[in-house]
Structure 1
Amino acid sequence: MPSKSKTKLKPASGTLQTPKLSGNKKSKSKSKSLVPAVVKEAVPELPKDEEEEELEKLLFGDLEGFREGLKAAEEEVEESEDEEMRDADEAEEGDEEGLKAIEKDYAAMNDDQLFFIDDTAPTNAVVPYQEEPEKMEVDKVDESAEGKAAWVDSDDERLAISLADHGRSRKLRDNELDDVVTGREYAARLRRQFERIFPTPEWALPEKPSKRPRRGDVSESESSDDESYDFAVSAPSLTALLSSNTTLTAHKSRLRLRPEVIDIHRLPDGNIDQPSVSAIRSISFHPTHPLLLTAGFDSTLRLYHIDGKTNPAATTLHLKNTPLDTAAFLPPNGTKIVAAGRRRYFHIWNLQNSRVERVSNIYGHRDVQKSMESLTPSLDGKYLSLIGARGTVQILDANTSQWICTATIEGTVSSLAWMPPSSFSDTSSPLPQLLIANKVGEVYEFSISLKRVLRVWRDEGCVNLTTIATSTRHIAVGSASGIVNIYDRKVSFTGPGRAEDPKPVRTVESLVTSVSSLRFSPDGQVLAMASLMKKDALRLVHLPSCALYKNWPTDKTPLGKVTALEWGMGAGGLWLVVGNEAGKLRMFEVRG
């Protein structure tokens, strides 16, 4: 059996080694001599023909071709400039010849052939775009104030943009025939559309020049005297005013008002110089001087010099953490101010020495006197009344703040009113006298000097009594149903004790929501009534006819939601001040 042989591969550099075949030594030598050696040699590069060289020049170019192209471009530019200059010279020569021909034609024409008047307006003509003169003036002002633009694209004037082709651009047209505009005009219209959607805020607008405050509802005869000028605010100091003899609000009114139509004019707001930041809850006129006091939930007492023109602010007093419901001057000289809110204390502000006193102790009555927002001074300034819990009313001495007596009634006390001296003899009702009304409509007449109730009567038809007011002759009672009953003290009440319930001389039903304010004018000729629940809910009633004024207020009278009312005596007539929920003091003057 022949033996098996193995093949081996041995690589060598530069030679190709074939595998050895199995066999004897003789066969091996023959196979080795027959295989030639393979050697790697470099391949020679063939020369380029003309076609290949031309293609290479076309693709990559050469230095000679670049120079020739540069020379050709320079020659073309020179030729084009020469042609333009020749064309310009020819055009100038043609224009001169044309102008000479036109001048000859015009010289041969008559004057009526040169001009004509076109009195017919085109109906469907396309009006070319022109910049509005007002807009150009605004642009000039802006450039002078802020400087010129840093960069302007000259191509905007050459662009022609169609506004009718795209739906988003159609809103930029001024009319249906408006179509093509320049790029500059397109940018201006985009800016105008943006300002329409997002107007400039008020804080970014320039300040308006000061003008004379307007007086609303002024007749034509007075409009000629209204010239625009600035008022010079020169208000006297508070100390000088209190020590002076100025008594604009102390004189008696001699007006005789008609029952049908009231002559009323609007004055500048009473707090136009220093407005309130919250709803005005209380308004009070000084007994003798032209001063007005306001108070509200901003815990601040504000005094104003009232002149009917500028009404400059006099001074303010901030009572920390004390939202105020009532504030009033203490008669008869008005040198003290009492202020109270829904707290267990009240404040007395002395205007002469600027001292503020806090009164918080009513000994023996702390359990029923938990709040003092209903503080009401008497007409002579000697007493202070406070509504308490469980049908009680505390009477204090205004000078010493000491407790005097307590009036107790049935039910819950809803309103108080001090009775002024009547114009007729009424010996059965000694003064001072306080009217105390409960929610069910019962009214108690309490005598301070006798310290007892003199008379009790019930308001006719009242379900929920809200407020009560008095004058020298009349008593007005308001309810939550919006009804106001007016009683005549001269004919409705006779004798002491519980008499037969009086009949009102007039029932006013012009308010449809709860009555919140009732105020008689100082001369007793007008009753103002208002409701906080509805905007512009204010009405005036003439007395003693009890006729409702229908010519005022109108739909354009800016009253708002009335939160406080007060009457005063001005130099020209009666002043009516209306405080609203927005913190404004609307002032009106009633003239005879």
Structure 2
Amino acid sequence: MTHNKSTFYLDLVSGVSSITQPLLWFFQVDGRDNPKLVSVQFERYPVHCGRFSTDGSELLVGSRNHPHFYSYDLMDGKITKINANQGLDQTHTKLFEMSPCGRYVALLGRWGAVHLLTARTKEWVSTLQMTGNVASLSFSSNGSHLYTYGETGEVWVWDIASRSCIHRFADEGSFGGECVAVSPSGRFIACGSQAGIVNLYERDEAFRPAIDGCSRPSPAYTIGNLTTPITSLLFDPTSELLVLASEHKAEAIRIAHLPSRSVYCNFPGFNSKLNKTLCMDISPHGGYLTVGDNKGNANLFRLVFVLLY
């Protein structure tokens, strides 16, 4: 069977560093030479999370070893230390997300807390409290809702305007959530569990009324190609492709084509020599996919024509 759409994949900036002299590299991706533009050094600050601001002028980075951020201004090259521990009992900045609307930063806290900060000043706005530890965060495409997923196997949906949980649903068969992602179209919600299973839900099904406070929708599609905990989920801009990966095993990355409910058997390919996937991203127009691994490589892929077998 042939998929007749010319798609995709990712471009991303990725840095590999030592503990004492962490570096972040910026590349211009052209699919051929991919020249390095600049490298940025953070003194004794291993980077575990990085997000661009909506307008692309700032890169915010966090670490599981420190309670503060660093901000890098792409216009003037200035590095600024930002303290995120102002009365929050925060010990790390290992996971956070920028809202697509450009107004907020959602920072993973301790004991089920998610802290909302302003994107401009990084000042605390509110704390959302979920039952159980939170493992993953994902904003809706317009930034009006935040999805949190954690050890209870439930997805909590938060209304950002009212700072309240407006819905909860259980991920079928999950005894511990690892990763959640919402498609750009808003149609799909993907949940990855500790067992390596990815359940894909239609939004309307996931949001059906809850009888006991937590609805139990049936997944539209279940992907069981991986056997270790899912640590990364990523939709492409068209919401037709879902990339899933686990950092616990080499070559544990797959790409699913959602309209046909199929997983591409030719990716990563026989003897690809891909290492453990630590991070990945897709370019804004879906032309490039980059995969950062535990050996310090940023692997860049481009698919011009995709075949489903």
Instruction: Establish whether TM, by shorter chain, passes 0.5.
Output: yes
Worse-superposed segment, 578-587 or 404-413: 578-587
Q: CA deviation at 1:511?
A: 0.3
1:465 matched residue in structure 2: 177
Residue 557 of structure 1 and its aligned partner are, at CA, apart by 2.3
Matched, 1:319 2:33: no
Instruction: Report the CA distance between 1:544 and its aligned residue.
Output: 2.9
State whether residues 262 and 552 of structure 1, in contact with CA within 8 Å, keep that contact through their aligned partners in structure 2. no
Deviation of the 1:494 alpha carbon? 3.2
Q: Which residue does the alignment assign to 1:544?
A: 259
State how 1:501-580 maps to structure 2 within 5 Å.
501-569=216-284, 574-580=287-293
AA paired with 2:252?
A
The one-letter code sitting in structure 2 at the alignment partner of 1:346 is F
Give the aligned partner of residue 164 of structure 2: 452
Distance 1:562 1:335 in 2: 27
Aligned partner letter, 1:441? G
Identity of aligned residues (%): 28
Match of 1:294 in 2: 14
Larger radius of gyration: 1
Equivalent pairs, count: 298
More strand by share: 2
TM-score, scaled relative to structure 2: 0.89
Deviation at 1:455, TM superposition (A): 0.5
Q: Does 1:494 align with 2:208?
A: yes
Is residue 2:107 matched to residue 1:386? yes
Alignment of 1:147-546 (within 5 A): 258=2, 292-298=12-18, 299-331=22-54, 333-342=55-64, 343-365=66-88, 367=89, 369-421=90-142, 432-471=144-183, 472=185, 473-494=187-208, 498=213, 500-546=215-261
- Bigger relative contact order, structure 1 or 2 (CA pairs below 8 A, ≥6 apart): 2
**Cα pair 2:242 2:255 within 8 Å, conserved:** yes
Report SS of the residue matched to 2:302.
Answer: strand
CA–CA separation in structure 1 for the residues paired with 2:200 and 2:208: 17
Confirm or deny: 8 A CA contact 2:8 2:289 kept in the other structure. no
Change in 2 beyond 3 A, CA 1:569/1:312: same
Q: Quick check: 2:154–2:169 contact (8 Å CA) kept in 1?
A: yes
Contact 1:539 1:549 in 2 (8 A): yes
SS of aligned partner of 1:444: strand
Q: Distance in 2 between matches of 1:546 and 1:558?
A: 26
Evaluate the alpha carbon distance shift between residue 495 and residue 265 of structure 1 in structure 2; reply closer, same or farther with a 3 A threshold.
Answer: closer
1:499/1:540 CA distance change after superposition, 3 Å: same
Aligned partners of 1:484 and 1:525: how far apart in 2? 15
Contact 1:485 1:507 in 2 (8 A): yes
For residues 461 and 591 of structure 1, the distance between their equivalents in structure 2, rounded to whole angstroms, comes to 36
Aligned counterparts of 1:511 and 1:439: Cα–Cα separation in 2: 19
- Closer, same or farther: CA 258–499 of 1 in aligned 2, 3 Å: farther
Q: CA deviation at 1:535?
A: 1.4
Q: RMSD across aligned C-alpha pairs, in angstroms? A: 2.4
Q: Equivalents in 1 of 2:259, 2:169: separation in Å?
A: 22
C-alpha separation in 2, matches of 1:361 and 1:569: 29
What displacement does 1:293 show? 2.0
Tell me how far 1:558 sits from its aligned partner.
3.2
- Give the CA deviation at 1:485: 0.6
Q: In 2, are the aligned partners of 1:293 and 1:328 still within 8 Å (CA)? A: no
Give the TM-score, by structure 1 length.
0.48
Closer, same or farther in 2 for the Cα pair 1:378/1:265, shift >3 Å? closer
Name the SS for the 1:590 alignment partner.
coil
Query: 5+ residue gaps in structure 1?
Result: 1-256, 267-283, 286-291, 422-430
Instruction: Give the structure with the higher percent helix.
Output: 1
Structure 1 runs of 4+ off > 3 angstroms? 261-266, 295-298, 494-499
1:180-201 deviation digits (Å, cap 9, x = unpaired):
xxxxxxxxxxxxxxxxxxxxxx
Consecutive unaligned residues of structure 2, counting only runs of 5 or more, are none
Deviations along 1:512-544, one digit per CA (max 9) or x if unpaired, are 111111111111111011112221111110123
CA contact (8 A) 1:474 1:487 kept: yes
CA offset digits 1:31-89 (Å, max 9, x no partner) = xxxxxxxxxxxxxxxxxxxxxxxxxxxxxxxxxxxxxxxxxxxxxxxxxxxxxxxxxxx
2:260 and 2:93 mapped to 1: Cα distance? 37
CA distance in 1 between partners of 2:71 and 2:206 (Å) = 38
SS in 2 for 1:515: coil
